[in-house]
Amino acid sequence: MSNPTRRLAEFCAHLRYEDIPEPVVARCEDLFLDWLGSALAGASQHPIAAFARHARQMGPADGPSEIVIDGSSSSPYFAAFVNAAASHVVEQDDLHNSSVLHPATVVFPAALAAAQDKGVSGRELIAASVAGYEAGIRVGEFLGRSHYRVFHTTGTAGTLAAAVATARILGVDTDTMIHTLGSAGTQAAGLWAFLRDGADSKQLHTAKAAGNGLLAAYMSADGLTGAQAIFDGPQGMAAGMSSDADATRLDADLGTRWALAETSFKFHASCRHTHPAADALLAAMTEHGLKADDIATVTTRVHQGAIDVLGAVDVPHTIHQAKFSMGTVLGLIAVHGVAGLTEFDQLALTDPAVAAFRDKVTMTLDDEVDAAYPARWLGRVDIETTDGRRFSGAIDEPKGDPGNTLSRDELEAKFTRLVRFADAADDTETRALIDRVWALRDIESVSALRAAG
Amino acid sequence: MSNPTRRLAEFCAHLRYEDIPEPVVARCEDLFLDWLGSALAGASQHPIAAFARHARQMGPADGPSEIVIDGSSSSPYFAAFVNAAASHVVEQDDLHNSSVLHPATVVFPAALAAAQDKGVSGRELIAASVAGYEAGIRVGEFLGRSHYRVFHTTGTAGTLAAAVATARILGVDTDTMIHTLGSAGTQAAGLWAFLRDGADSKQLHTAKAAGNGLLAAYMSADGLTGAQAIFDGPQGMAAGMSSDADATRLDADLGTRWALAETSFKFHASCRHTHPAADALLAAMTEHGLKADDIATVTTRVHQGAIDVLGAVDVPHTIHQAKFSMGTVLGLIAVHGVAGLTEFDQLALTDPAVAAFRDKVTMTLDDEVDAAYPARWLGRVDIETTDGRRFSGAIDEPKGDPGNTLSRDELEAKFTRLVRFADAADDTETRALIDRVWALRDIESVSALRAAG
């Protein structure tokens, strides 16, 4: 077995709440609230009801773990499964830049389900979640850009993130954590093929990553053994699913670099690859006093990953597809100034002004932007106006990035918008849920969030 | 979407029992009995109890589908999950040569669980199983040798095989079958990394392939959409997991070539890659009147796939590993004349004569054998005796291959050996189970096999 694998396992198995710096703990609570809002906002969206029905058909009638979208309960496996599907569908959940991983939607469903099953403290839930973020982000970085071109890293690396968080809740030792990584890695799956059809697989990927990761942890704790060299062995993840894997990323700076704190909140309700250009366009339009009608063309200069993921969507046919359409996102920004859930729901497919603006937008690969990616997501747009003027817009940290993050007030406002969008809770419960998350570290035994709210 | 994908889906969605030639129906029953024997024999083996416990913890207390290893019941998902794990552990389940797929252990658990859930006829179960075999084998052939070098095809292609069989039970149309393929393909996983540690992932792979495939079918029937070009699209299975994929294999000769009938039964209780050499050694020893002590060295000339899978096991530490040790298998053959379940259980790790013979065995790549593979699994051994004589052994169709298959009497004898090995049923129930399978096509509504036996 490689040393990086063992060191990663050892760190994750032994990470104590007391070892985590206070700002990282606080950011973990921020990310948890942001995740809960995404899950509640997803409750009414297609295809989430199908996941809930599947859990009812294949799982038990109730259990120790909460399905947050409706306050019902199930076994840990199916609670994680439904909550993970729900928290990824409105494209408002967090993203870690250099790994291109959405950690919250896979880590928190698994960790919460296991925490409620075992009745551990809020501090244990936080420590387990931090372990899941640190591991999952490093696995995503290890798999590299070649992996992300074909695989949905949140499905693949996400399985290991969920597994580590769950195993930390279960209190496993280093050897069992290695088995957990092995059994999670050999289940890792998720292809981008669905994107060009606007199919529902993105939710299936997060549901299965959370569920399969949780399964790997529970079954490893019960004696199931896994591969020792799942990452860099000759028949491991790198051999099968990457051509630029770097095993030194697996255990780099454990305990000194806190990758969780690098995670970005999503401000716009679209694919994160559209955010740098959206912010750059907004900045340029504000600076130069431009309106949508003033603009003849917008060229967004992007990294290759954006072209790989967004290139397939030309004219979106579903709201979810519209979130992957650069032209639609910039159209909402240019015409309405906002690309939030409500704008996508009510305007993205039907507003003729947005459609007209969409056709003005092109993407082109930019060497500088591409070289900075994925560590930094640079926004660069070139604008030509109808009267022949040319402007450029540039931002180096999209809104929500660690250097341009959301305050607790902004996070509460976003949470409230998400809950109201889905009519998921009344104002009293919304407030109670926020307060409960801000007090997460003081909970002695994690129980249902909604009943307790 | 590629035409091969649609044609495969159309064939599988519409395959009727009446369209299947009688010898293929009969062979399907043969394979079903062979599968049931493997599942029953696996009941008492590590780590199967952990799968059953997981199903109890995460699934319902009972349900419409049978867990054959103990006669209990669960939801279709968890019945498929446990039965698939159990039927692959003793390495006695079937194998299709050119796809290197073990079809039974993924197809029958899913098809049986869905058939019991829906109460369809035995003929519908047979038609669905045939569809699963035809699809899964073609997907395995499509993924090619490069895939099998790193991925356990029974985990990956097996997910699609299970999905197709389940979807055929559910009676979906062509479009829904395409969605099913998409949702199954994006869950396809399973790496060989576990093999060098003798870890338990092989059972995890079959359990998850059957369960995930079943999930894909049930959720597609409930409206979940999947990628249209899951096989050969630019971000599909071929792009991510193969360098020699051939999409023309997906729909080649549908309805005229019956791949199910090409499937081999396992005679020896070891990895199929050891069987050609085992039969060739046995033939040469019989022909020349050799005993184990007469032999100084055995060189087995093999295909690359055998070296990839078996090369990692030098001195086996577990019985399961011993089944992947060419030297151990040939040692059992040379010393005891048989490499069955009982011999592995009682002799493979402990008999000094077997260990001594193991050290006389080497493997070498043979161009002729490699060129014939995987369509044909040729057995070639070169023997040098202690008194300096040299002999060669050669077989072109290992025992159990279609041209050297097992009769119904031999299949009944194998089934009885498997059941007795695990003390899984008394002689009366064993006979009743055999009779029930031979009458499968006359069952009006598939219910529990064991209760009805």
pLDDT for position B394: 97
CB–CB of B193 and A236 under 8 A?
A: yes
Among partner residues A51, A190, A199, which is closest to B182 by beta-carbon distance?
A: A199
Considering the domain architecture, whether residues B228 and B294 belong to the same structural domain is answered as no
- Separation between Cα atoms, residue B83 and residue B352, nearest integer Å: 35
Torsion of CA B146, B148, B153, B157, to 10 degrees: 10
- Separation between Cα atoms, residue A202 and residue A192, nearest integer Å: 8
**Is position B343 within any domain?**
yes
Among partner residues B183, B188, B241, which is closest to A204 by beta-carbon distance?
A: B183
Residue B96 neighbours by CB distance under 10 Å: 26
Q: Which amino acid is at A378?
A: L
**Is position B407 within any domain?**
no
pLDDT for position A40: 97
Query: Among B8, B11, B13, B71, which residue's Cα sits nearest to residue B39?
Result: B71
| Whole-number average pLDDT of chain B | 96
User: Residue B304 is part of a domain; what is its CATH number?
Assistant: 3.30.1330.120
Tokens for A452, please give them: 């307790």
In sequence order, the 6+-apart residues with CB closer than 8 A to the CB of A190 are: A151, A152, A153, A154, A155, A156, A158, A201, A205, A208, A209, B186, B187
In sequence order, the 6+-apart residues with CB closer than 8 A to the CB of B18 are: none
pLDDT for position A109: 98
Considering the domain architecture, whether residues B27 and B169 belong to the same structural domain is answered as yes
Q: What is the DSSP letter of B88?
A: T
Strand partners, A120: none
Chain B positions touching A196 (Cβ under 8 A) are 227-229, 233, 235
pLDDT for position A314: 80
The predicted-structure confidence for A45-74, as pLDDT tens digits, reads as follows 999 999 999 999 999 999 999 999 999 999
- Separation between Cα atoms, residue B54 and residue A235, nearest integer Å: 27
* Type and span of the H or E element at B67: strand B65-67
User: Residue B87 is part of a domain; what is its CATH number?
Assistant: 1.10.4100.10
Three-state SS at B393: strand
Question: What share of chain A in percent tops pLDDT 70?
Answer: 98
The predicted-structure confidence for A118-157, as pLDDT tens digits, reads as follows 999 999 999 999 999 999 999 999 999 999 999 999 999 9
Tokens for A257, please give them: 């670099």
Torsion of CA A216, A89, A398, A258, to 10 degrees: -20
- Residue by residue, DSSP assigns B177-191 as HHHHHHHHHTT---B
Q: Which amino acid is at B159?
A: T
- Separation between Cα atoms, residue B202 and residue B272, nearest integer Å: 14
CB–CB of B189 and A187 under 8 A?
A: yes
CB–CB of B193 and A227 under 8 A?
A: yes
Considering the domain architecture, whether residues A153 and A35 belong to the same structural domain is answered as yes
CB–CB of A237 and B191 under 8 A?
A: yes
pLDDT for position A198: 87
Torsion of CA A183, B272, B40, B180, to 10 degrees: 60
According to DSSP, the β-strands at B295-302 and B361-365 are: parallel
Q: Which residue of B has its CA nearest to A77?
A: B58
Considering the domain architecture, whether residues A118 and A159 belong to the same structural domain is answered as yes
Among partner residues A47, A58, A186, which is closest to B191 by beta-carbon distance?
A: A186
**Is position A320 within any domain?**
yes
Chain A positions touching B51 (Cβ under 8 A) are 219
The predicted-structure confidence for B262-315, as pLDDT tens digits, reads as follows 999 999 999 999 999 999 999 999 999 999 999 999 999 999 999 988 986 689
Q: Which amino acid is at A96?
A: H
Chain B positions touching A198 (Cβ under 8 A) are 225
Considering the domain architecture, whether residues A151 and A134 belong to the same structural domain is answered as yes
CB A181 within 8 A of CB A213: no
Distance from CA of A240 to the nearest CA of B (A): 6
- Separation between Cα atoms, residue A258 and residue B373, nearest integer Å: 50
**Is position A92 within any domain?**
yes
pLDDT for position B311: 83
Considering the domain architecture, whether residues A238 and A305 belong to the same structural domain is answered as no
Query: Among A101, A100, A97, A104, which residue's Cα sits nearest to residue A41?
Result: A104
Q: Which residue of A has its CA nearest to B60?
A: A60
Burial class (CB in 10 A: 0-12, 13-18, 19+), B273: buried
Distance from CA of A269 to the nearest CA of B (A): 22
- Separation between Cα atoms, residue A281 and residue A394, nearest integer Å: 8
- Does pLDDT of B453 surpass 50? no
- Domain hosting B383: range is 272-399
Q: Which amino acid is at A52?
A: A
**Is position B404 within any domain?**
no
- Separation between Cα atoms, residue A268 and residue A91, nearest integer Å: 9
According to DSSP, the β-strands at B379-385 and B390-395 are: antiparallel
Among partner residues A59, A199, A224, which is closest to B227 by beta-carbon distance?
A: A199
CB–CB of B201 and A218 under 8 A?
A: no
- Separation between Cα atoms, residue A113 and residue A129, nearest integer Å: 12
According to DSSP, the β-strands at B361-365 and B390-395 are: unpaired
Question: What share of chain B in percent tops pLDDT 70?
Answer: 98
Among partner residues B47, B61, B205, which is closest to A186 by beta-carbon distance?
A: B205
Considering the domain architecture, whether residues B259 and B290 belong to the same structural domain is answered as no
- Cα end-to-end span (Å), chain A: 46
Distance from CA of A141 to the nearest CA of B (A): 17
Considering the domain architecture, whether residues A91 and A146 belong to the same structural domain is answered as yes
Considering the domain architecture, whether residues A29 and A143 belong to the same structural domain is answered as yes
**Is position A406 within any domain?**
no
- Does pLDDT of B352 surpass 70? yes
- Separation between Cα atoms, residue A432 and residue A124, nearest integer Å: 22
Question: What share of chain A in percent tops pLDDT 90?
Answer: 96
Considering the domain architecture, whether residues A81 and A192 belong to the same structural domain is answered as yes
CB–CB of A189 and B188 under 8 A?
A: yes
Burial class (CB in 10 A: 0-12, 13-18, 19+), A44: middle
Q: Which amino acid is at A340?
A: G
Total count of domains within chain A: 2
Dihedral sign, CA of B56, B60, B61, B62?
Answer: negative
Considering the domain architecture, whether residues B323 and B294 belong to the same structural domain is answered as yes
- Separation between Cα atoms, residue A215 and residue A51, nearest integer Å: 17
pLDDT for position A1: 45
CB–CB of B225 and A197 under 8 A?
A: yes
| Whole-number average pLDDT of chain A | 96
Considering the domain architecture, whether residues A261 and A284 belong to the same structural domain is answered as no
**Is position B356 within any domain?**
yes
pLDDT category at A453 given cuts 50, 70, 90 is: very low
Task: State ipTM.
Answer: 0.93
B428 backbone dihedrals φ, ψ, rounded to 5°: -65, -45
* Type and span of the H or E element at B74: strand B72-74
Three-state SS at B92: coil
Strand partners, B151: B191
Tokens for B267, please give them: 């005679």
**Is position A182 within any domain?**
yes
The predicted-structure confidence for A294-350, as pLDDT tens digits, reads as follows 999 999 999 999 998 898 668 999 998 999 999 999 999 999 999 999 999 999 999
The CA-atom distances, in angstroms, between A250 and each of A131, A230, B163, B275 are 13, 12, 34, 40
CB–CB of A185 and B191 under 8 A?
A: yes
CB–CB of B186 and A200 under 8 A?
A: no
CB A266 within 8 A of CB A379: no
